[in-house]
C-alpha cells in the first residue's frame, strides 16, 4: 500500500459566475452533498466552502486519482444533483475552467482557514478580485494573454 499525501486547492465557479448559491443554507447543502458524494467515490475532501458563485475545496489525491478526473466527478455529479433536486430557479451549471494548485504540508492549516472563512472573506473582496489575485499569484495565463 502506498503512503501518499498530495494536497490540491481547487477553486471553480458557477457558469458565467451567476450567484446560484445565494443563501448560506443552500451552499451548506451543496457542500455537504459534494463531500458525501466524493467520499462514496473515494475522493478525500479535507474541507470545502465557497460563496454564491464559487467553491473552494482542499483535496488529498489518492494514488489512482488525477486532477481532471476528480474535478469531472465532483462538478458533473453535483450539477446533476442540484438540477435533479431543483435547488435553483434556472438550470445550474459549473464553469468548465478551474484552478488547481498544490499545497505543501506546512501550508495546509492556512489554506483550511482561508477556505473556512469564505463568507467573511467575500464581504470584503469579490470573487473577481480573488480570481485576478490567483492569476497573478500563481503565474497563470488567461486565454486572451499572449
Q: Considering the domain boundaries, does residue 104 fall inside one?
A: yes
Which residues, 6+ apart, have CB-to-CB distance to 39 below 8 Å?
A: 45
CATH number for the domain harbouring residue 22:
3.30.70.1290
Q: Considering the domain boundaries, does residue 95 fall inside one?
A: yes
Q: Considering the domain boundaries, does residue 143 fall inside one?
A: no
Q: Considering the domain boundaries, does residue 144 fall inside one?
A: no
Q: Facing residues of 54 across strands?
A: 13, 51
Amino acid 146: pLDDT: 41
- As given in the structure block, the three cell numbers for residue 87 are 435547488
What dihedral do alpha carbons 101, 51, 39, 108 form, nearest 10°? 40
Percentage above 70 pLDDT, the chain: 97
Q: Considering the domain boundaries, does residue 12 fall inside one?
A: yes
Which residues, 6+ apart, have CB-to-CB distance to 20 below 8 Å?
A: 14, 52, 53, 82, 88, 90, 92
Average pLDDT of the residues in 116-141: 83
pLDDT range class, residue 143, cuts 50, 70, 90: low
Amino acid 144: pLDDT: 55
User: What is the distance between the alpha carbons of residues 49 and 11, in angstroms, rounded to a whole number?
Assistant: 10
Q: Considering the domain boundaries, does residue 124 fall inside one?
A: yes
Amino acid 126: pLDDT: 82
Q: Considering the domain boundaries, does residue 100 fall inside one?
A: yes
Encode pLDDT of 84-122 as tens digits.
999 999 999 999 999 999 999 999 999 999 999 988 877
Q: Which domain holds residue 19?
A: 6-138
Q: Considering the domain boundaries, does residue 33 fall inside one?
A: yes
Which residues, 6+ apart, have CB-to-CB distance to 66 below 8 Å?
A: none
Tally the domains of the chain.
1
Amino acid at each position: 500500500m502506498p503512503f501518499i499525501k498530495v494536497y490540491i486547492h481547487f477553486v471553480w465557479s458557477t457558469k458565467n459566475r451567476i450567484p446560484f448559491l445565494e443563501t448560506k443554507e443552500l451552499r451548506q447543502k451543496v457542500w455537504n452533498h459534494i463531500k458525501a458524494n466524493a467520499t462514496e467515490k473515494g475522493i478525500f475532501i479535507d474541507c470545502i466552502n465557497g460563496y454564491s458563485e464559487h467553491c473552494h475545496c482542499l483535496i488529498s489525491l489518492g494514488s489512482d486519482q488525477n486532477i481532471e478526473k476528480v474535478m469531472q466527478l465532483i462538478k458533473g455529479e453535483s450539477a446533476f444533483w442540484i438540477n435533479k433536486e431543483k435547488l435553483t430557479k434556472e438550470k445550474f451549471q459549473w464553469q468548465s475552467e478551474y484552478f488547481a494548485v498544490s499545497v505543501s504540508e506546512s501550508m495546509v492549516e492556512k489554506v483550511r482557514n482561508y477556505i473556512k472563512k469564505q463568507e467573511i472573506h467575500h464581504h470584503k473582496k469579490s470573487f473577481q478580485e480573488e480570481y485576478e489575485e490567483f492569476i497573478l499569484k500563481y503565474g497563470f495565463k488567461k486565454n486572451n494573454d499572449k
